[in-house]
Amino acid sequence: MRNLNSVELKTFVPAKDFALSQQFYRDLGFKPGWVDEQLAYFSHGDHCAFLLQNYYVKEWAENCMMHLLVEDVEAWWAQVQEAKLDERYGVRLIPPQDQPWRMRDFIVFDPSGVLWRIAQNI
């Protein structure tokens, strides 16, 4: 029998301003890994990672949605508020609310227009 176990799934996230987006994701709480001129690896914990891409197409960025499932959505929201992401980066935030799909989440748009739903199961 073949070993078909998965290790990790990453997506490519577009960046209109590569340096600004890197700082935004650090301030959001992601840990940077390796970086070159085209890609930056970001992670949080053992199982959450993505590749920030120095590439931007407005239509793609504004239709890209990420979902991050966390243990404590209120703690993440507090981090976003303390980091003043909306003021510092001019991004839009939507406060936590309970969703009909049994999650409590909030929304943050990154500087390129990518929508992030940060959620906790309820």
Q: Which residues neighbour 93 within 8 Å (Cβ) at sequence distance 6 or greater?
A: 80, 85, 86, 106, 107, 108, 109
Whole-number pLDDT of residue 4: 86
Domain ranges for the chain: 12-121
pTM for this predicted structure? 0.93
12-121 CATH fold:
2,3-Dihydroxybiphenyl 1,2-Dioxygenase; domain 1 (3.10.180)
Q: Has residue 84 got a pLDDT over 90?
A: yes
Is residue 22's pLDDT more than 90? yes
Note the pLDDT of residue 46.
84
pLDDT of residue 1 exceeding 80, the answer is: no
C-alpha Rg value of the chain to the nearest Å: 15
Question: Which DSSP category does 9 fall into?
Answer: -
For residue 5, the model assigns a pLDDT of: 85
Instruction: Give the pLDDT mean for 53-69.
Output: 97
